[in-house]
Amino acid sequence: MTRYIRHAAAFCALLLIALLVNATRVQVVQSGHFDDNPANRRQAIARFGQPRGDIMVEGRAVTGSQDTGEQLRYERTYKNGPLYAPVTGYASQVYGTTFLENAEDDILSGTDPMLAPLPLWNDISRAQNPGGKVRTTIRAAAQQAAYAGLGGKKGAVAAIEPSTGKILALVSTPSYDPERLSGTSGSVARSWAALNASADKPMLNRAIRQTYPPGSTFKVVTAAAALDAGTVTDLDAATKSPSPYTLPGTSTQLTNEVDGCTNATLRYAFEWSCNTVFAKLGADTGLGDMLGTARNFGFNDSGLKIPSSVAASNFDTAMDDAQLALSSIGQYDTRATPLQMAMVSAAVANGGQVESPHLVDETTTDDGDVVENTGNHSLHQAMNPATAMQLRELMTGVVEEGTGSNAAIPDVTVGGKTGTAQHGIDNSGTPYAWFISWAQKSGEAQPSVAVAVVVEDAAADRGDISGGGSAAPIAKAVMEAVLDGP
């Protein structure tokens, strides 16, 4: 019998080996495959198992974390949620993350290996780093001023420091409180459904994710192209521009809202926004130069990140002269984000140089050690410095004498450009009111702020809508907030 007992024992040993081999398969060989299964909640549990790092505005956190004691333990809270929603985005247990919450997720959630005290430290210790902090370039006062200025109206504001590209304000209205999407309760799902169903699209970040026809504010780009190309050399010389202007190759006549545009000087045409002059100027300058300048300002760039990706502004690359003429006054297919138009204004203020716009100053560990510093860097020279000087003169004229007088600030040099953009089939939609501007304190070497404001004021009478009326006061408030700041 002994022999058979030994055989049975060997059989049991075989079972043991099978178990060990299988355990090795599950726990070591295929473990990565199991760990990454989206139905495996462990990654989410680890992710929400510690407070998320904060997003800071001027050294103060605009976010927070709340311990719920649930399985996905820490929920995101927001201070002044609607005000900063276009900056922070949301961080939801259920619906993921957007904007800075998304772009800096590795830092905020603590998974970025750069947060570890030593390379590979966490792989050995199995420790998780506390979430890092993201310091934004936002100026609270400017953000407040923009948000208050827009009030209940649909619209957006982007403000930039021209010399560095730091984004000082980024506002989109109507907004929402991202806190409504934190957590896993039923109210979160209801909020999500309601926000998505809302006709106002509160979760749309109009400042960077929505493009609008820029209307007359695009004349800054056209003027820059024309001056750089030599199509116009003297701001005060009469242009050969008929009014109304028949678009080349068509019988369509373009008219003006103001008088005195026939053969007007560039200065007059810019200050009073003569469509005919700029349409002809664009056509005369030609597609190649117009496109080149538009690109240098940042149009047609789908790769811009601040670090959230910015929707590409558009200037068509193939057009006939009539289309080019319309595009030159910011109509036809020309479209721009508010941030793009703030970059246009900032380029003028910064001697023609476009600085890369950015929202994050630096990221730090929980203790405040710097992980990454966002340095400034230039994108393009949009125009010659001399052209930039001339455009500054023209933009200053708009505020001092022309359509932009509502943006004037005592003792401050302010340059601006109004815009009223037609849109919809046969221009049936309520026009968008635009204003782009910059401001320079007397005694300072260069302008300290450039702003773009767009207001989709569907409630107003069509006749009342103008960049100077609706948008310029908001731009003024934002510029004042920046100038009054530290």
Partner 1 sequence: MTGTAAAPPSVPAVRVPRRRGTEVALIVVAVLLSVYGYCDVGLAKNGTVPPGAAGYGAGLGVLALLAHLAVRFRAPYADPLLLPIAVLLNGLGLVLIYRLDLETPGDEAAPTQLVWSTVGVALFIGVVVLLRDHRVLQRYAYICVVTALVLMIVPIFFPAVNGARIWIRIGGFSIQPGEFAKILLAIFFASYLSANRNALAYTGRTVWKLTKLQLPTGRVLGPIVAIWLLSVGVLVLERDLGTSLLFFGLFVILLYVATGRTGWIAVGLVLAGVGAYTVGSLEPHVHSRVEDWLHPFASIDAGEGPNQLAQSLFAFAAGGMLGTGLGLGHSILIGFAAKSDFILATAGEELGLAGLTAIFLLYALLVERGYRAGLALRDAFGRLLAVGLASIVALQVFVIAGGVSGLIPLTGMAMPFLAQGGSSVVTNWIIVALLIRLSDSARGQPVGPPKEDA
Q: Is 127 near partner 1 (CB under 8 A)?
A: no
Q: Number of residues in contact with partner 1, rule: CB under 8 A?
A: 37
DSSP H or E stretch at residue 24 = helix 2-24
Q: Which is nearer to partner 1, 41 or 190 (CB)?
A: 41
Cβ neighbour number for residue 168 with a 10 Å cutoff? 30
Tell me if the bond preceding 130 is cis, omega within 30° of 0.
no
Q: Which is nearer to partner 1, 44 or 460 (CB)?
A: 44
Residue 69 as a binder of partner 1 (CB under 8 A): the answer is no
Nearest CB to partner 1, comparing residues 1 and 199: 1
Shortest separation between residue 49's beta carbon and partner 1, angstroms: 10
| 23 binds partner 1 per the rule CB under 8 A | yes
DSSP 371-440: EEE----EEEE-S-HHHHHHHHHHHHHHHHTSTTGGG--TTEEEEEEEEEE--SGGG-SPPEEEEEEEEE
Among candidate residues 216, 243, 308, 345, the one labeled active-site is 216
Distance of CA 258 to the CA centre of its chain: 33
- Candidate list 28, 118, 120, 199; residue touching partner 1; CB under 8 A: 28
CA dihedral in degrees (468, 469, 474, 480; nearest 10)? 60
- Could you list the beta-strand ranges (E) of 138-177: 154-160, 167-173
**Phi/psi of residue 433, each to 5°?**
-95, 125
Contact between 39 and partner 1 by CB under 8 A: the answer reads yes
Single out the segment in contact with partner 1 by CB under 8 A; choices: 7-15, 55-63, 328-336, 443-451: 7-15
Cβ of residue 121: shortest distance to partner 1, in angstroms?
16
Nearest-angstrom CA–CA distance, 300 and 278 = 21
Q: Pick the stretch among 41-49, 77-85, 341-349, 446-454 that binds partner 1 (CB under 8 A).
A: 41-49
d(CA 353, CA 336): 19
Q: Is residue 328 among the annotated active site residues?
A: no
Tell me whether residue 34 or residue 253 sits nearer to partner 1 (CB atom). Answer: 34
User: Which residue from 16, 189, 238, 370 is in contact with partner 1, where contact means CB under 8 A?
Assistant: 16
For residue 3, the minimal CB distance to partner 1 (Å) is 7
31/253 with CB nearer partner 1:
31
* 318 lies in the site for partner 1, by CB under 8 A: no
Please identify which residue in 20, 114, 238, 370 interacts with partner 1, judged by CB under 8 A. Answer: 20
Asked if residue 40 binds partner 1 (CB under 8 A), the reply is yes
* Element containing residue 441 per DSSP (H, E): strand 432-441
Q: Which of 35, 200, 333, 464 binds partner 1 (CB under 8 A)?
A: 35
Answer yes or no whether residue 34 interacts with partner 1 by CB under 8 A: yes
Q: In this structure, which amino acid lies at residue 127?
A: A
- From residue 107, give the alpha-carbon distance in Å to each of 21, 46, 102, 118, 417: 39, 15, 10, 16, 39
Residues near partner 1 (CB under 8 A) are 1-9, 11-13, 15-16, 18-20, 22-24, 26-28, 30-35, 37-42, 45, 126
Q: Which residues does the annotation mark as catalytic?
A: 216
